[in-house]
């Protein structure tokens, strides 16, 4: 009750908004126009944190529930709370002990070893200066590569350590690292936590008695899906490989395309418990540095337990969670990521997700498909026009139909009008109800088609729609012309290359049906206006969502609504304020010049 009153009050009365400095994408200083502002003044308190603070203030938690919602608490506090991990009464320790026994005990506690079945601990001895030294490795079965461990870690340690080394290190740690382990990726650390993190992520921990450092070898070897065709973004022309769930494989796929040492793959970890590794990809001398800072700031400031998919990350990073249109593109295609990177955008690849996030995103990017730049420009432009038509049909067609048949009958050609009337003669519902029934039915078929297992899916989609439509017409529940409208709308929505956008339009379509039914074209225009204002006000990482149309950005970036020939796309999009605006020189096809042979080598 109190809540309702509060909500009502907040509606009527004005609350002074907190001053949160909005991120505005500044021009890069390399562009030589404006000075760069230092990223964020109130860096100690990020907006995310503030929001969370406010939510805490709003509903004070009871003492009992307080500890469960760990995400809201500072790191130190949580480390102190012993009753947090119920089974482990282990006191967290920081530095690795020199005693292997102690280490072993501690590791066993941490991983709850007798209970935890897939933890493998192998104890053995190393010969160091003629004396046997106790050691053990710890790893998680199934996540590691057995042969690598056997031949690169256990074999040299147990057998080769017997060899007579010419130079002798005093420190056993140094000795193991530089002499004994022929493995290429080794991490040497004094901290338990780092070793544990590595083990959790398919590494192999090595503890040696007498050493104050531990080793973590990267022996990841879990089973993963191979590189397959992307499922959601199919193209006829262009590369056919898609991302899989392995972070490094994915970054490698991008690097394979962009053979450029300026391509930076920065690591970040998201999720306090899941510690999911992410990579932030950008090209050092193209991407705007404040944009990179902002992305890093947002990614690093995220506080939560587990993160499974980049879909989660997208929802945590986007500017306006209430906006229907997606503000970050998720793509399965490495070539698309690479193309975006060369435009000065930033990509985030997350371990465990075959979808990379590309940002900032504008409305324009959402209706472009990967294929557009691979096929010749007249074809691409045809496709774009068709696609725009599809977008408008999927958004407006049912609404327009309702508006026209209910308010503007004079618009329909007389013959068609009479045909519609005679078709509707036996239909008992008003047009709005009729169209809502069909739209809902269609949505049902769509959803069921995805959920239904295996090969029945597509069949259900087609047969279901056909039979349902036919039967509905025969039963005089809907008129045949309406089936056409709904079907065309459905087809239109499949023509939208970005499936998130298609979802958005599927929702908005219902709004337009209602608006069309309430005031005809006036309602639809008002709807379009509201949507337009909403979209133009939106920003994706400081970039206006409707750029480059509204605001119109200067500069020669030309891959907007229609695409010019590839050799004419000379500049990068101005709205991401890249450091280097030019993609190719004025004349990129040097052979067209007379003296091309001489210039070819320059």
Partner 1 sequence: MKKLMIVLLIASLLTSLLTGCFDRREVDELAYVMAIGFDKGKTNILKITFQIAIPKGMGGGGGEEGGGGGGGDKNSMVLSIEAPTLYSAINMANTTVSRQLNTSHAKAVVFSKEMAQQGIDRYIHTLIRSREFRPNMYMVVSRTSAEEFIKSVQPKLEGNPAKYYELTLNSYNYTAFIGNTQLINFYNAASAFYSNPVATLGGVNAFKSSKDFNLNDSTYTEKREKYPQEGDFRAGGITKYGELKTEFMGLAVFDGTKMVGELDGQETSYYLMATGQYNYAYWSIPDPKVEGYFILLNVKQSRKPERKVQMVDGKPNIHLKIRLEADILNIQSGVNYEDLKQLPVLEKSAEDYIKQGLQDMLNKTSKQYHTDICGFGAEEKRKFLTWEEWEKFNWLSRYKDSTFNVDVDLKVRRPGLLIRTIPSPTSEGNMEVQNQ
Partner 2 sequence: MNNKVTFGRWETITVLLNSMGIPILLGFPRGMVELGGTAGWLICIYITVLALALFYIISRLYKPFEGMDPLDLGERIAGNAGRIIVGLIFFTHSTFIVSMILREFGEDMKVIALTVSPISFVQLFFITGMIVGAYKGIEAVVRMHSVVVVLISAGVLILVIFVMPFFKFGNIYPILGNGPEKIFGTGFFRVSSFSALIIIYMVFPFIKSHEQFRTAGFWGIGLTGFFMTLVTLTFIGVLPYPISLEQFLPVYQLSRIINVGRFFERIESVFMLLWASAALLYLSFAFIIILRIFQKAFKLPYYRPLILPFAVILFTLSLLPPNVMTALNLEAIFFRSYAWLTTFLFMIILLITARFVSKKEKGRIKT
Stretch that binds partner 2, among 2-10, 401-409, 431-439, 440-448 (CB under 8 A): 401-409
Considering the complex, state which of residue 20 and residue 61 has its C-beta at the smaller distance from partner 2.
20
Q: Write out the binding residues for partner 2, residues 550-579 only, by CB under 8 A.
A: 550-552, 554
Q: Which of 421, 491, 550, 587 binds partner 1 (CB under 8 A)?
A: 421
Local structure of 132: helix, strand or coil:
strand
Does position 520 interact with partner 1 (CB under 8 A)? The reply is: yes
Residues 6+ apart with CB under 8 A from 10: none
Work out what residue 514 binds among partner 1, partner 2, none; the CB cut-off runs from 5 to 8 Å by kind: partner 1
- Going from the C-alpha of 173 to that of each of 80, 176, 180, 596, the distances in angstroms are 31, 5, 10, 61
**Which residues share a beta bridge with 263?**
283
| Cβ–Cβ under 8 Å, residues 349 and 252 | no
Do residues 544 and 551 make contact, with C-beta atoms less than 8 angstroms apart?
yes
DSSP state of 96: P
> 354 — phi, psi (to 5°)?
-80, 5
Q: Using CB distances below 5 to 8 A depending on partner kind, what does residue 16 bind out of partner 2, partner 1, none?
A: partner 2
Q: Is 260 helix (H, G, I), strand (E, B) or coil?
A: coil
528 contacts partner 2 (rule: CB under 8 A): yes
Contact between 415 and partner 1 (CB under 8 A)? yes
Cα gap 584→44, rounded to integer Å: 41
CA 585 to chain centre: 33
336-375 binders of partner 1 (CB under 8 A)? none
Cα distances from 135 to residues 81, 90, 171, 240, in angstroms, run: 32, 22, 15, 47
Contact between 7 and partner 1 (CB under 8 A)?
yes
Shorter beta-carbon distance to partner 1: residue 267 or 422: 422
Show the site string, 274-293: x = touches partner 2 by CB under 8 A, - = not.
Answer: --------------------
Give yes or no for residue 409 binding partner 1 (CB under 8 A): yes
Region from 9-17, 24-32, 297-305, 496-504 binding partner 1, contact rule CB under 8 A? 9-17
Q: Provide, rounded to whole angstroms, the least separation between the CB of residue 516 and partner 2.
A: 12
User: What is the C-alpha separation between 298 and 286, in angstroms, rounded?
Assistant: 20
22 forms part of the interface with partner 2 (CB under 8 A):
yes
Partner interacting with residue 322 (select from partner 2, partner 1, none; CB below 5-8 Å by kind): partner 1
Select 70 or 430, whichever has its Cβ closest to partner 1.
430
Span near partner 2 by CB under 8 A; candidates 94-102, 207-215, 260-268, 527-535: 527-535
Provide the minimum distance between the beta carbon of 78 and partner 2 in the complex, in angstroms, as a whole number: 36
Closest alpha carbon to 211 in 157, 271, 134: 134
Contact between 519 and partner 1 (CB under 8 A)? yes
* Residue of the chain from 385, 462, 522, 587 that contacts partner 2 (CB under 8 A): 522
Do 235 and 369 meet the contact criterion of CB atoms below 8 Å apart? yes
Of 283, 324, 346, 404, the one binding partner 2 (CB under 8 A) is: 404
- Per rule CB under 8 A, count of chain residues that contact partner 2: 34
User: For the residues of 9-71, what is the DSSP string, one character each?
Assistant: HHHHSPPPPP--PPP--PPPGGGTSSPPPPS-TTTTS-HHHHHHHHHHHHSPPPHHHHTT-GG
Contact between 525 and partner 2 per CB under 8 A: yes
User: Residue 419 CB, nearest distance to partner 1 (Å)?
Assistant: 5
540 and 359 Cβ atoms separated by less than 8 Å: yes
405 binds, among partner 1, partner 2, none (CB under 5 to 8 A by kind): partner 1
Query: The dihedral of CA 166, 172, 175, 181: what is its sign?
Result: positive
Pick 301 or 536: Cβ nearer partner 2: 536
Among 398, 464, 520, 542, binds partner 2 (CB under 8 A): 520
Task: Provide the minimum distance between the beta carbon of 16 and partner 2 in the complex, in angstroms, as a whole number.
Answer: 7
- Residue 530 in contact with partner 1, rule: CB under 8 A: yes
Torsion (CA) 49, 363, 280, 43 in degrees, nearest 10 = -30
d(CA 453, CA 195): 42
Distance of closest approach, residue 511 Cβ to partner 2, in angstroms: 13
Contacts of 591 (CB under 8 A, 6+ apart): 600
- How far is CA 40 from each of CA 21, 290, 292, 318, 396, rounded to the nearest angstrom? 8, 9, 13, 18, 42
Task: Note whether 94 binds partner 1 by CB under 8 A.
Answer: no
Helix (H) / strand (E) element for 412: namely none
Per DSSP, the residues of 373-410 read GTS-HHHHHHHHHHHHHHHHHHHHHHHHHHHHHHH-GG
Say which entry of partner 2, partner 1, none residue 537 contacts (CB below 5 to 8 A, set by partner kind): partner 2
Task: Please pick, from the candidates 9, 10, 56, 224, the single residue that binds partner 1 as defined by CB under 8 A.
Answer: 10
What DSSP element (H or E) covers 506? helix 499-537
Letter string b/e over residues 93-131, b meaning 16 or more CB atoms within 10 A of that residue's CB? eeebbbebeebbebbbebbebeeeeebbeeeebbbbeee
Q: Residue 544's binding partner, choosing from partner 1, partner 2, none, with beta-carbon cut-off 5 to 8 A by kind?
A: partner 2
Binding partner 1 (rule: CB under 8 A), the pick from 234, 268, 419, 562 is 419
Q: Is 38 in the site for partner 2 (CB under 8 A)?
A: no
Position among 17, 32, 60, 74 found at the interface with partner 1 (CB under 8 A): 17
Tell me the residue length of the chain. 602
**By the rule CB under 8 A, 423 interacts with partner 1:** yes
Q: Does 18 bind partner 1 (CB under 8 A)?
A: no
Residues contributing to the site for partner 1 (CB under 8 A):
7, 10-11, 17, 322, 405-407, 409-410, 412, 414-415, 417-425, 427, 430-431, 480, 511, 514-515, 517-520, 523, 530
Residues contributing to the site for partner 2 (CB under 8 A):
14, 16-17, 22, 24, 404, 407-408, 410-411, 413, 519-526, 528-530, 532-534, 536-537, 544, 546, 549-552, 554
């Amino acid at each position: 009750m109190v809540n309702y009153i509060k909500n009502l009050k907040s509606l009527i009365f004005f609350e002074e908004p907190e001053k949160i400095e909005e991120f505005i994408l500044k021009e890069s200083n390399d562009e030589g126009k404006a000075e760069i502002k230092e990223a964020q003044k109130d860096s100690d308190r990020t907006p995310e944190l503030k929001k969370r603070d406010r939510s805490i203030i709003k509903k004070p938690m009871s003492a009992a529930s307080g500890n469960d919602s760990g995400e809201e608490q500072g790191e130190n506090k949580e480390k102190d709370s012993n009753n947090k991990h119920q089974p482990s009464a282990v006191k967290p320790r920081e530095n690795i002990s020199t005693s292997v026994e102690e280490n072993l005990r501690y590791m066993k506690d941490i991983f709850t070893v007798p209970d935890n079945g897939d933890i493998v601990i192998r104890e053995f001895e190393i010969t160091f200066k003629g004396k046997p030294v106790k050691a053990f490795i710890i790893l998680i079965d199934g996540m590691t590569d057995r042969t690598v461990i056997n031949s690169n870690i256990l074999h040299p340690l147990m057998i080769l350590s017997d060899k007579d080394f010419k130079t002798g290190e005093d420190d056993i740690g140094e000795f193991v690292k530089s002499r004994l382990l022929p493995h290429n990726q080794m991490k040497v650390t004094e901290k338990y936590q780092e070793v544990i993190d590595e083990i959790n992520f398919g590494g192999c921990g090595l503890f040696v008695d007498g050493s104050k450092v531990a080793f973590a070898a990267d022996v990841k070897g879990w089973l993963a899906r191979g590189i397959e065709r992307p499922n959601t973004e199919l193209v006829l022309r262009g590369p056919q490989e898609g991302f899989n769930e392995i972070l490094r494989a994915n970054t490698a796929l991008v690097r394979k395309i962009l053979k450029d040492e300026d391509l930076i793959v920065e690591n970040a970890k998201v999720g306090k418990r899941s510690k999911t590794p992410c990579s932030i990809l950008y090209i050092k001398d193209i991407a705007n540095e404040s944009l990179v800072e902002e992305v890093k700031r947002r990614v690093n400031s995220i506080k939560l337990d587990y993160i499974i998919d980049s879909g989660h990350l997208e929802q945590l990073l986007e500017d306006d969670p209430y906006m229907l249109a997606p503000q970050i593109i998720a793509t399965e295609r490495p070539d698309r990521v690479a193309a975006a990177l060369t435009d000065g955008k930033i990509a985030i690849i997350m371990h465990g997700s075959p979808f990379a996030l590309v940002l900032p995103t504008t409305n324009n990017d959402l209706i472009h498909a990967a294929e557009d730049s691979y096929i010749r420009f007249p074809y691409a432009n045809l496709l774009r026009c068709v696609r725009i038509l599809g977008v408008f049909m999927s958004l407006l067609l049912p609404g327009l139909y309702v508006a026209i048949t209910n308010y503007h009958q004079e618009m329909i050609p007389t013959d068609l009008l009479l045909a519609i009337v005679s078709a509707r003669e036996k239909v008992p519902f008003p047009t709005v109800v009729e169209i809502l029934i069909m739209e809902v039915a269609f949505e049902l078929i769509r959803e069921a088609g995805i959920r239904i297992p295996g090969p029945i899916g597509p069949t259900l989609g087609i047969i279901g729609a056909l039979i349902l439509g036919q039967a509905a017409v025969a039963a005089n529940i809907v008129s045949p012309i309406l089936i056409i409208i709904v079907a065309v709308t459905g087809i239109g929505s499949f023509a939208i290359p970005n499936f998130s956008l298609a979802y958005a339009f599927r929702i908005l379509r219902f709004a337009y049906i209602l608006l069309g039914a309430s005031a005809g074209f006036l309602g639809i225009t008002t709807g379009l206006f509201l949507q337009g204002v909403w979209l133009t006000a939106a920003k994706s990482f400081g970039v206006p969502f409707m750029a480059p149309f509204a605001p119109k950005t200067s500069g020669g970036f030309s891959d907007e609504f229609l695409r010019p020939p590839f050799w004419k796309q000379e500049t990068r999009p101005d709205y991401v304020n890249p450091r280097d605006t030019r993609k190719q020189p004025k004349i990129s096809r040097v052979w067209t010049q007379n003296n091309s042979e001489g210039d070819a080598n320059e």
